[in-house]
Chains A and B, each alone.
Chain A
Amino acid sequence: MKLCEFLRPASLSAARDNLRELGTKGMILAGGTALHFMQDHTPVTAVDITRLGLSYIRPDGNFYRIGATTPLSDIQRYRAPRWAMHEICRRISTHQIRNVSTIGGNICRVFPWADLPVVLLAMNARMVVYSDHENEYSADEYFATQPAKRFLDGNILTSVKVPALQAHHGFGSVKVSRTTAAFSMVTIAAVLELDGSIIQSARIAAGSAIPFPRRLPNVEAALVGKEAVSEVFKEASTKAARDVPWRSCEGQSPEYSQHLAEVSILDALERAATFAHGRAE
């Protein structure tokens, strides 16, 4: 992406005014790492929102609220009771990238291999978007299509509200990649709500090796009302093929992608069950 001008608005409303005025010639900059890889060389004006106080993590009722320009390394290092976001952030790219890349940048324009949308879908997070007032979108609504479309009229993602997991909730995520810093081959995230050993509800999401991150409703349906044991998890994971056609990527066949997904779902569910039963923080 070619930058022809660089603006540092002093407020959210000024940033929105800049973006509305610029239209397609404006590009919001939250961390900026992705801009270097965009193939469109049409000159654009960068609107830097990193100085607007949007870098924070704080408890907010039943949620943890994460500011849109919070670097991934801050999310990785944050600790709080039953906080789980650090696990996936540790697995995203390298230390140097995580120090610059932000949660907002990661989820405003979603690439097929992005890990955070998968986790946020499973966790039923809520995205807060500033227009002339704040609107909240559930993860299901927000990630139903490419979120970038939501920001064409100058709206700005300001924060992400991640539900604080309750004592009977469990979270597990798995990212498969060839090297630590490589893009994901398959990413799976699972949240289980247990009543004793019975699964009351399940949210399972997948990314990479499919066109766009999404939930796996057939896998979820195969879990609800069942006992949280390996046999059930294994049976549920075989439903992944019904939810989405797994595709080839980076030399792996569609069959291999599907197999990788099934194994990863099983692993994520085991981790979620362990978490729900009380893991070491």
Chain B
Amino acid sequence: MKKNPQTVQFTINGESKTFITEPDEKLLDLLRREGYKGAKFGCGQGTCGSCTVLMDGRAVYSCLLYAMQVEGHEIRTIESIGTHDNPSEFQQELIDGGAVQCGYCIPGMIMSATALMENETHFDDETVREYMDGNLCRCTGYEKIWSALRRVLDRQEAQNTQS
């Protein structure tokens, strides 16, 4: 098929950038091509959640978005959350809890958890499941990931109650 380059401009991890893309290119492919390799290709059909990023603060599957769709939006990837030397609170809990095996699903898990923590103030189990049920893990059986997240949420909820 004839190539038809177009440009798309959006904010990525706080920086406004313009990218050359194709109408058919998925956001995930653009992100990985441009070096944001934390978002992973898993199923490619919006099931596993390993490609989860935030669009305007909401968790979305970047494999089910055309890059052109995010024009003018604010995209956040796992690269905005923490670093190897300075992990986020949830990342540290995952490490401390031994909740990571192959690690492939973890960036998506963290992005969904970030959406949860930034959009909700009460973290009952049903709400947490709602935010996290679009992320699959084939290694851990979820228990340690859930426990790590629960510890962070319980602390955050306690802080919310105090303030």
Contacts and interface: CB of A to CB of B under 8 A. Distances in A.
Nearest to A76: B130
A94 B133 contact: yes
B134 A48 contact: no
B36 interface: no
Given A4-B1, A73-B58, A94 B49 contact: yes
- In the complex, which of the residues A2, A48, A95, A96 has the most CB atoms of chain B within 10 Å of its own CB atom? A96
B68 A90 contact: no
Interface in B88-136: 112, 115, 129-134
A263 interface: no
A176 interface: no
Given A6-B66, A29-B69, A48-B68, A95 B1 contact: no
B31 to A, nearest CB: 15
A138 interface: no
Closest 4 CB pairs of A and B: A94-B134, A6-B23, A6-B68, A3-B23
A4 B52 contact: no
A17 B115 CA distance: 38
B84 to A, nearest CB: 26
A71 to B, nearest CB: 8
B16 interface: no
B24 A2 contact: yes
A32 B62 CA distance: 12
A36 B46 contact: yes
B10 interface: no
A96 B66 contact: no
B1 A46 contact: no
A260 interface: no
B59 interface: yes
A208 to B, nearest CB: 18
B45 interface: yes
A61 B43 CA distance: 45
Interface residues of B, number: 31
The A contact surface, by secondary structure, is mixed
Contacts of B69: 29, 32, 48, 50
B23 A96 contact: no
Candidate in A4, A5, A37, A94 with the most chain B CB atoms within 10 angstroms: A94
B6 interface: yes
A33 B61 CA distance: 10
B79 interface: no
A43 B23 CA distance: 10
A239 interface: no
Contacts of A181: 47, 133-134
A46 to B, nearest CB: 7
B4 interface: yes
Contacts of A241: none
A46 B132 CA distance: 31
